Structure 1
Amino acid sequence: MGVFTFSEESISAVAPATLYKALVFDGDNLIPKVVDAIQSVEILEGTGAAGTTKKINYLEDGHLHYAKHKVDAVDKDNFVYNYTLVESDTFPETLEKIAVETKLAAAPNGGSVVKVTVNYVTKGDAKPSEEELKIGKQKGDGLFKAVEGGKTHHVLHKVEAVDEASFVYNYSIVEASDLPETVEKISVETKLVEGPNGGAVAKISVKYFTKGDAQPSEEELKTGKAKGDALFKAIEAYLLAHPEYS
C-alpha cells in the first residue's frame, strides 16, 4: 500500500462560517444545483455526522457515474470536514481510496483560507499518475468555485404534445438563464419506436428559433446536443439499473 499526500491553500471571498455551512450542512441539496454534472447526493447510512456514507451520482462525458464517500470528521467550531472516497466506478484499478481533509480559516480580508490535504492510498507500490492528480484537483477546484459563486441555472419549457400511444413528446424551451441572446426558443420533437434488439430508437428533431437573421453557432449546437445526449444517457442508465421500473 502506498500513501501519497498533497496539500494546497486557496483564498475564498466568502466568510468561513458561510462557506462551511454551504459545503457541509447544505451541500447535499446545494451542490447538485450549482454543479451541473452532479445529479444527486444520497445518504446511504447515517445522518451527516462522522460515519455517514453518501453516494454522489454525476454525469461525465454523457455517462452516469457514482462515487461513495464516508464522512470521517465534522467539526463546525473549527470548520473542519474530513471524508474518504471509498468507491467509484471511475476509480483506477491501482487506487484503493482517497482521503480528503478540509479546514477553513478566517482570511485577513474577511474571506476564508481554504486548506485541503489529499491522501491518495494506492494498491501495492502503484503511484497516482499526473493526469489522475490533475483531474482530481480540477474537480475539487470546480466544486469550491461553484459553491462560492452560488450560480444556479433554470430552464422553462412548455409542453406542446404528449401522445402516450405513439410515444411522442414535444416541447419548447421558452426561457433559460444560459439561453444565448440570439435564440428566441428551441422546439424539440421526440418520438420513440421499438428497436430490433428489444430496446428503443429515439428520433429527435430540434428547431432553433432565432431573433432576426441570427444563426446558432457551431458551439451552441454542439453544447445543446451534448446536454440532450447527457439527459438521455442518464435516464437510460437509471432504467437499466432499476429493471423494476415501469
Structure 2
Amino acid sequence: MEKQRSFPETRRGSLAILLSGLLGLILLAFGMGWAAQTRTGLSDDLLDSFGERLVVLLIALALIQLFCAWHVPRLLELPHENAARVWLIIVSVGALGAVSLGTLEQLAVIAALAVPVIFMGEMFRPGSRDHLLWQVSGTYAGAVLAVMNSMWFLVARSGAASVALVCVAAMCGALLISLVLVGRTRLIAVPLGALIGGFAAQFWLGTLPGWITPAFALALALIMWGLDYLARSVGLRDNRGAKAALGLIPISAMGVVGYALSLLVL
C-alpha cells in the first residue's frame, strides 16, 4: 500500500508530475500543429467537418484522457477505483465522439448524462456503499476533466488551432519555470513563464491579439495555485501514476479556456 506523503518540494520529487505534463504538451502541440499546418482556410460553418487533419489531435487527446481515466481515481483515493475507471473511460469515449462528430451541444449532453449514469452505476454496483458521496463526486470530477480536455478538439475544428498553439506555448513556459524552481517560488513564477512562452508564440505567429496570452496566463495560474493548495492539503500517494495524472490535469482543464479564447478571437 502506498504511503501518504506531502506535496513534493524537490525537483526529483516532482519529476513524475513535470515529465507527464511535458509529454502531454508534446502530444497536444503535435496534434494542434498538424491541424494548423494542414488548414487551408476557414469554412462557412463555425465547426469544420471531421477530417484527416484532425486524426492526430484526436489520438493525442485520447491518450491523455485514457491515462487520466486510469490514474485519476488513484489520485483522488476513490474507494472503488476500478468502477470509477470504467465510467471515466465511457465518458471519455463519449466526449471525444461528441466533439469529433457533433458540436458543443452534444458535448454538454454527455456532461449532463454523466451525472445520472455514474450515480445509477454506483447504486447497482455489487459490493458496499461506503463513502458513496466521495465515490460519485470524485468520479464525476474526473468526467468533467475529460469533457474539458475534449474541448481542445473543438478549438481545432473551429479553425483556431493557432490560438491553441499559443496556449500550449504558454503552458510550456510555465513548465520550464517549474523545472528550474521549487516550492512556493515556482508558483509565483508560473504566470511569468506562461507570459514568456505565450508572447514568444504570438510573435512567431504574428496574427493574434495581444490580450490572449495574459488572459490564458491568469487562468493557468489560478488552476495551478488551486491544484497546489489541494495537493498540499490532502497529500499525494507515493504512486507515479497518480503523480503523473496530476501533471496532466492543468492541460486538460485549460481546454475550456482555450475554447473560450478561440470563440472570442473568431
Asked whether the two chains share a fold, i.e. TM above 0.5, the reply is no
Q: Give the TM-score normalised by the residue count of structure 1.
A: 0.31
Structure with greater proportional helix content: 2
Larger radius of gyration: 1
Q: Give the TM-score normalised by the residue count of structure 2.
A: 0.29
Structure with greater proportional strand content: 1
